Amino acid sequence: MPLNPLSPLARLINGPVHPGRIVWIGLRPRRKAAMVLVESAELDADDGLVGDHYASRGGARQVTLIQAESLRTIASHLGRSDVLAGDLRRNIVTEGINLMALKDRRFCIGDAVLQTTGECHPCSRMEEVLGAGGYNAVRGFGGITARVVKGGAIRIGDEIEALPAIGSLI
């Protein structure tokens, strides 16, 4: 049941979101292949992240994002000093923005506009990559999935900014 847009909770959810920035971009050329780190990438509304093996599949999972803050949390859950961005195979690592606050919202990065489509849940490979307990360490901290609404170039350092929520009175 959708929230009444005039309710106090809806006003909070649809309120301002502090912007963040991109600190890492990675492409997955093939399933299980090593991530390719890039300084910039192209997002296409039809194909998603150009050069990623999910490109041209369409759908809700064109781009995956995770917070750098979540990587530190996952590492702490494993008793490690760090977890590498490529270990979780997300495309974009952000800093300074709460990605969960983008639920049901559009946001811009560089020249592109994306729409959050859901949470990015861990897969069973987390046990293989991170060791025993890896799956549970990532639960709730795996980031989000998004589809590309308007294509464009993105670069490390680009700001990530929430667009006003649809139906928002703010």
Measure Cα distances from 120 to 8, 80, 90, 92, 98 in Å.
28, 22, 9, 12, 14
CA separation for the pair 132, 111 (Å, rounded): 40
**Over the stretch 3-48, which tens digit does the pLDDT of each residue have?**
787 888 888 888 889 999 999 999 998 888 889 999 999 999 998 9
In this prediction, residues 73-93 reach a mean pLDDT of: 95
Whether 119 shows a pLDDT value over 60: the answer reads yes
Q: Residue 95: which residues within 8 A CB-CB, separation 6 or more?
A: 20, 21, 23, 67, 68, 69
Q: Which CATH superfamily is domain 20-162 in?
A: PK beta-barrel domain-like (2.40.33.20)
Q: pTM, whole model, 2 decimals? A: 0.91
Note the pLDDT of residue 97. Answer: 98
Note the pLDDT of residue 169. Answer: 46
